[in-house]
Amino acid sequence: MWRPRRRAERRTVSPRQVHVAIVGLVAAFAVGGCTLPGRSTPSRPPTIAAQAAAPATARWSVADRGEIPAGSGLSVTAEGGLLRSLDVTDRPDHHLPSSTDGLTGRATELPPGSTVTAVAVLASPDGREVTASRTIRVAAPPRSLRATVSPGDGAEVGVGQPVIVTFNTPVADRAAAERALRVVTDRPVGEAGWYWFDNSQVQYRPQRYWPSGTKVTVTAALSGVRTGTTTWGVKDTTSTFTIGRSQVLRIDDATHRMTVVRDGATIRTVPVSLGRHQGSFITRSGTKTVMAIQRTVRMDSRTVGITGPDAYNQVVPFAMRLTWSGEFIHGAPWSEWAQGQQDVSHGCTNVSLANAEWLFNNSLVGDPVETTGTGREMEPGNGWGGGWNVSWAEWKAGSALR
């Protein structure tokens, strides 16, 4: 039988009961440390004041005022911020290569034997800029590379004079050394380039003789350049010299004559006697350059391997050296009877005393000497001008940067 539903009784809660319940709940959370089951307690977030008090810092790979081995580099990493820049110097206004990616900066090409200062600029989260620095000593290299440049600074030379860079120790990485060499001229000289004769010497010349009056500046910027496993350049060398008037000595063995051509015009003809046509006495044909001009030179045949009845040891006047092997142009009063007629020397170019003195007073180191008709070829490395006997294609191929 249907019966009407009984209305539920309505219960009221007094304000005091609500207050007691809230207090109990708060107390329960306080006792439990305000945790929920199964969850760890979160750390308290830093306050704004705490964040502002924590600027970015730099973490360096090397200690300040420390020393690192040659070949080592340095790095810096920003912590708590960003790395804006890294500047590394080994002397005032000389900035070494460095790189940064916003967090880490590196410098690897530190010159051995130098004192390096590195300055890092960092940005903190609040925008503040922080500067950090290190000063370190880079140890000297096990082997030091230096260069001698010829012609020397301030010299005036002939149109056939090559630039000669001689190293104090063999160069393993020729390309690295050649990249450090630079030649600047004050006027166009045509195509020019470097040629390595061996690991200790490289020469530079234009395809044709230098234009007279050219000012040439050569820089060997070797400081800090690594050219071997344990070898670094430790010094930069510079030389500026001038090309003088154009003068070429042309010697023809068929006529026994030397023609002196200055700025395109013949100014003197000189009778000569060359090396007699017997074995090693034959004068070399080809292009040479005057290497040295001396008032007197003692010539001892033993220094070039000549002994026995052909030996000699005497002082000759007004001598101009042409080759390492001992060829000179010099005064020879004893052979004036043969000059212009036949070859009687041990390989040198004999001229009269008067002509030798004129050449002595009117020649420059670097003047080309072009000899023809003897039948014996000039060796490319025999003297400073030997490179003129190398074809231009071969000369270009002799560069380490070809």
Q: What is the CATH number of the domain that holds 303?
A: 2.40.440.10
Contact between residue 66 and residue 74 where contact means Cβ atoms under 8 Å apart: no
Selected residue with higher pLDDT from 209 and 346: 209
Q: Do 174 and 231 share a structural domain?
A: yes
Nearest partner of 159 among 182, 185, 181, 178, judged by Cα: 185
pLDDT (0 to 100) of residue 42: 46
pLDDT (0 to 100) of residue 25: 35
pLDDT (0 to 100) of residue 40: 37
pLDDT (0 to 100) of residue 27: 38
Q: Helix, strand, coil proportions of the chain in percent (round to 5)? A: 15, 40, 45
Whether residue 294 lies inside any domain: the answer is: yes
Nearest partner of 102 among 81, 127, 119, 125, judged by Cα: 81
Selected residue with higher pLDDT from 22 and 140: 140
Selected residue with higher pLDDT from 39 and 102: 102
Contact between residue 73 and residue 110 where contact means Cβ atoms under 8 Å apart: yes
For residue 9, pLDDT beyond 80: no
Nearest partner of 282 among 247, 323, 317, 327, judged by Cα: 327
Q: Name the pTM for this structure.
A: 0.77
Q: What is the CATH number of the domain that holds 122?
A: 2.60.40.3780
Element (H, E) at 150: strand 147-150
Selected residue with higher pLDDT from 90 and 7: 90
Selected residue with higher pLDDT from 79 and 41: 79
Q: What is the pLDDT of residues 123-149, one digit of tens each?
A: 999 989 999 999 999 999 999 999 999
**Mean predicted confidence (pLDDT) in 302-327:** 84
| Most confident range, picked from 17-21, 42-46, 113-117, 154-158 | 154-158
Q: Do 211 and 82 share a structural domain?
A: no
Whether residue 315 lies inside any domain: the answer is: yes
Percent of the chain with pLDDT over 90: 77
Mean pLDDT, all residues of the chain: 88
pLDDT (0 to 100) of residue 212: 98
Could you list the active site residues? Answer: 330, 348
Q: How far apart are CA 375 and CA 180, in angstroms?
A: 40
What total of structural domains would you count in the chain?
A: 3
pLDDT band at 46 (very low <50, low <70, confident <90, very high): low
Q: What is the CATH number of the domain that holds 155?
A: 2.60.40.3710
**Mean predicted confidence (pLDDT) in 310-338:** 92
pLDDT band at 60 (very low <50, low <70, confident <90, very high): very high
Whether residue 46 lies inside any domain: the answer is: no
Q: How far apart are CA 315 and CA 335, in angstroms?
A: 15
Q: Do 149 and 236 share a structural domain?
A: yes
pLDDT band at 26 (very low <50, low <70, confident <90, very high): very low
Q: Do 172 and 291 share a structural domain?
A: no
Contact between residue 312 and residue 306 where contact means Cβ atoms under 8 Å apart: yes
Residue 341: give the domain boundaries. 247-385
Q: Do 348 and 310 share a structural domain?
A: yes
Whether residue 369 lies inside any domain: the answer is: yes
Q: What is the pLDDT of residues 329-365, one digit of tens each?
A: 999 999 999 999 999 999 999 999 999 999 999 999 9
Q: Do 174 and 124 share a structural domain?
A: no
